[in-house]
Amino acid sequence: MKKIILSLSCLFLIGIGDSLAQNSALIYDAASEDVRIKMNSNKILGVNVLDGVDATHVLKVEGLTEATSQQINTIFEGSTLISSVDFAIENGLIGIVSNANLYRHDIEQLLAGSGVTVVTYSVTYALKD
């Protein structure tokens, strides 16, 4: 029984590591040259490859109102990965600056239950100021 639990735990951890590596590879492919250099340097130094890299997420959403924007802002204030949030309510846009370790699915989970639906999503990466 212990061997089965240990085997399942190892498979789970390998899956997490593989998922993080895939996300980093996708970011690397989409990143500018300076971000790629930073990621390579981090890898050589043995630190998280996304240290020092910020992501700017732009979401076009349906259902954005003054009330929902206040609710979303409160939710996002609780995340240590998010640096800033801006709203363009009349255009249905949310702009988020975060650590590059925050992904679309994380944002969608945070938005769940807020009454907004993500229509389009884009992200760009830059070196942390």
Cα separation values, 110 from 14, 68, 101, 105, 126, Å: 26, 13, 14, 9, 23
Cα separation values, 5 from 9, 10, 12, Å: 6, 9, 10
What confidence tens digit (pLDDT) does each residue in 21-73 have? 447 888 889 899 999 999 999 999 999 999 999 999 999 999 999 999 999 99
Residue 88 has pLDDT above 60, yes or no: yes
Task: Tally the domains of the chain.
Answer: 1
CATH number, domain of 90, equals: 3.30.70.100
- What is the span of the domain harbouring residue 19? 2-127
